[in-house]
């Protein structure tokens, strides 16, 4: 009887928290954008004007400093999964500036949603301002 009890205790101790499940945090990475922000960007704007509306780019290429990429990924954690908040994987906005520093092209506008999911409620009003 003692061997069985000892086996159960040792198994429970060695398994640790895996029986209860491990808590995972939400992992937002990059720059979350909304359509309201992207709609304010117009061709011919300066880099400073674009940075004012969208913030700093997630990625700038050292070999091509006139290209800015805004990328956003969101991996839901334990609480977000309970609320059925989906993961975000393909949000990418690419901006190309000319040699004078003016916005030449915008790519990826369709990948940006109307409202960003997975953000704290306090940030959504800031991102959805016209």
- Tens-place pLDDT, residues 72-83: 888 888 888 888
Asked, for residue 2, whether it belongs to a domain, the answer is no
Which pTM value belongs to this model?
A: 0.71
Number of domains comprising the chain? 1
Asked, for residue 1, whether it belongs to a domain, the answer is no
| Portion of the chain with pLDDT greater than 70, in percent | 78
Asked, for residue 13, whether it belongs to a domain, the answer is no
Question: Nearest-5° angle of CA 49, CA 51, CA 55?
Answer: 145
Which pLDDT does position 89 carry in this prediction? 78
Do 106 and 93 meet the contact criterion of CB atoms below 8 Å apart?
yes
Does the pLDDT value for residue 94 go beyond 80? yes
Asked, for residue 32, whether it belongs to a domain, the answer is yes
Asked, for residue 68, whether it belongs to a domain, the answer is yes
- 31: domain CATH number is 3.30.1450
Asked, for residue 120, whether it belongs to a domain, the answer is yes
Residue 59 tokens, joined: 């990625």
Mean pLDDT of the chain: 81
Which pLDDT does position 5 carry in this prediction? 74
- Tens-place pLDDT, residues 19-58: 567 888 888 888 888 888 899 999 999 999 999 999 999 9
Residue 84 tokens, joined: 């059925």
Asked, for residue 49, whether it belongs to a domain, the answer is yes
Does the pLDDT value for residue 60 go beyond 80? yes
Asked, for residue 85, whether it belongs to a domain, the answer is yes
**Cα dihedral value 50, 114, 130, 127, nearest 10:** -70
Residue 42, domain extent? 24-127
- Look at residue 68 and give its three-state secondary structure: strand
Residue 111 tokens, joined: 């990948």
């Amino acid at each position: 009887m003692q061997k069985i009890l000892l086996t159960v205790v040792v198994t429970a101790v060695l398994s640790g928290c895996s029986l209860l499940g491990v808590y995972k945090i939400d992992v937002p990475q990059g720059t979350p954008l909304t359509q309201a922000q992207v709609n304010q960007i117009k061709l011919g704007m300066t880099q400073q004007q674009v940075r004012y509306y969208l913030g700093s780019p997630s990625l700038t290429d050292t070999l091509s400093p006139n290209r800015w990429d805004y990328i956003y990924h969101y991996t839901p954690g334990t609480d977000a999964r309970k609320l059925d908040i989906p993961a975000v994987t393909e949000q990418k906005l690419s901006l190309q500036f000319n040699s004078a520093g003016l916005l030449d092209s915008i790519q990826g506008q369709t990948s940006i949603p109307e409202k960003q999911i997975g953000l704290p409620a306090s940030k959504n009003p800031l991102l959805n301002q016209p």
